Amino acid sequence: MPATLKDLKSQFLEYVEIEKGRSVKTVENYDRYLTRFLTFAKVTKPRDISETLVREFRIALNRSTGTSGTMKKNTQNYHLIALRAFLKFMRKRDVDSLNPERIELAKVGGRDLDLISSDELDRLMNGPKGDTLTALRDKAVLELFFSTGLRVSELCSLNQDLDLSRDQFSIRGKGEKIRVVFLSESAKKAVRAYLEKRADMSDALFVGYGMSNKKGSKDLPRLTPRSVERLVKRYAVKAGITRKVTPHIIRHSFATDLLENGADLRSVQALLGHANIATTQVYTHVTDKHLLEVHKAFHGKRRH
C-alpha cells in the first residue's frame, strides 16, 4: 500500500533531523509549516499535490491575518521552502508528486539590517560592572559574542573546557557544520576572570544564578538562549539604547566591524558559518563608504 502524505511527512522530518543534522527547532518549524499546508490541502496522496493547490495555498497565506496583522512575505516563503524541501525528499525516493522546481518564492524587499552604532556597542559592552559572579559572567558573554560572532544557541552550548591558552576554538553550528572562531584578548580576559571566580561543578561555560538555585549548589543550570536574550536586553536598556537589541544584533556588529575594516566577504562568510554567501551579502551595504571614496578618487578626472 503506497505511503500517505502523513506517513511521508513523518519520514521527511526524521530525515531532516538525523541525516541532514538540522536542529530540533528547525524540525519543529518544518512540521508546523507542512501541517498547515496539509490541513489546507485536504489531500492524502502525493500525486494530488498540484500547482493549482499550491497557488490556492499561497493566496490563503497572503490573506491570512493574525495578532500582528497580515502574514509577512518572508513567513509565507518559509511555508513554501518547507513544502519544496518535502517535495524534493519525495522525488529522491521516487514518489510521484509535484516537481519542487515548480514552486517559486514570493518576491521580498531587501532585508533591513538592525544595527547599533559603535558608540552604542561600547556602552553595551561596558554595561556589566563589579566582580560578582553575575557581572563577570555577563561581561564574558558580551565579550565572547563580539569576539566570535557566535549564534546565541552556539554560545549557550559551550563548556568550561574552553582552552584560553589558544586564540581560537571550534564550534559545531547549523547543520552540524564545524567552523573555527577566534578569541580577542579582551574576550579571553573576561572569560578567564569569570571562570576563576566559579566554584560550581557544572560543565556549562555559562550558568544561571537564579533564586531557584539552592544556596551553595555545585550543579547550576546552563544558561538558555532566552536567558541570554534577556541579559542582552537588560544591558541595552542600561546603556540607553532605545531600539531592540538582541544577541543577533551583536553578531551583525561583529560582521560589519570586519567588513568596515577591510575584510573580504568570503572570510566573513566562513567566520559567521553561513552555508551560502548570499546570506552574508546582506552586510555589503556597510562597505558603501568605500565606494564613495572610490567615486571621489576616480570619477570625473578628465572634466575641467
* Whether residue 151 lies in the annotated active site: yes
Per-residue confidence at 303, pLDDT binned at 50, 70, 90?
low
pLDDT at 8: 94
pLDDT at 287: 57
What is the C-alpha to C-alpha distance for residues 231 and 21, in angstroms, rounded to an integer?
29
Question: Of these residues, 22, 137, 251, 252, which one is catalytic?
Answer: 251
Q: What is the mean pLDDT of the chain?
A: 85
Question: Of these residues, 22, 151, 188, 252, which one is catalytic?
Answer: 151
Per-residue confidence at 177, pLDDT binned at 50, 70, 90?
confident
pLDDT at 300: 63
Least confident among 79-83, 97-101, 158-162, 296-300: 296-300
* Whether residue 251 lies in the annotated active site: yes
pLDDT digits (tens, 9 = 90+) for 23-42: 788 899 999 999 999 999 99
* Whether residue 304 lies in the annotated active site: no
* Whether residue 230 lies in the annotated active site: no
Question: Of these residues, 91, 174, 179, 222, which one is catalytic?
Answer: 174
Q: Taking CA 12 as the corner, what is the angle to CA 175 and CA 150, rounded to the nearest 5 degrees?
A: 15
The pTM (predicted TM-score) of the whole model is: 0.65
* Whether residue 102 lies in the annotated active site: no
Q: Give the mean pLDDT of 262-266.
A: 81
pLDDT at residue 132 tops 80: yes
pLDDT at residue 298 tops 70: yes
Q: Give the mean pLDDT of 227-255.
A: 89
Q: How many CB atoms lie within 10 A of CB 7?
A: 12
Grid cell locating 302: 578628465
* DSSP reduced 3-state for 69: strand
Backbone angles phi, psi at 67, to 5 degrees: -65, -25
pLDDT at 280: 78
Least confident among 56-70, 131-145, 186-200, 234-248: 56-70
pLDDT at 264: 81
What is the C-alpha to C-alpha distance for residues 255 and 109, in angstroms, rounded to an integer?
21
* Whether residue 172 lies in the annotated active site: no
pLDDT digits (tens, 9 = 90+) for 109-121: 555 566 778 888 8
pLDDT at residue 212 tops 60: no
Question: Of these residues, 22, 79, 188, 274, which one is catalytic?
Answer: 274
Tell which wins on pLDDT, 196 or 173.
Answer: 196
Per-residue confidence at 301, pLDDT binned at 50, 70, 90?
low
Contacts 24+ apart (CB under 8 A), 118-122: 120/239, 120/241, 121/146, 121/250, 121/253
What is the C-alpha to C-alpha distance for residues 139 and 252, in angstroms, rounded to an integer?
19
pLDDT at 90: 94
Domains of the chain, start order: 5-102 (1.10.150.130), 118-291 (1.10.443.10)
Q: Give the mean pLDDT of 203-228.
A: 78
pLDDT at 109: 58
Write the CB contacts of 131 (distance below 8 Å, at least 6 apart in sequence): 193, 197
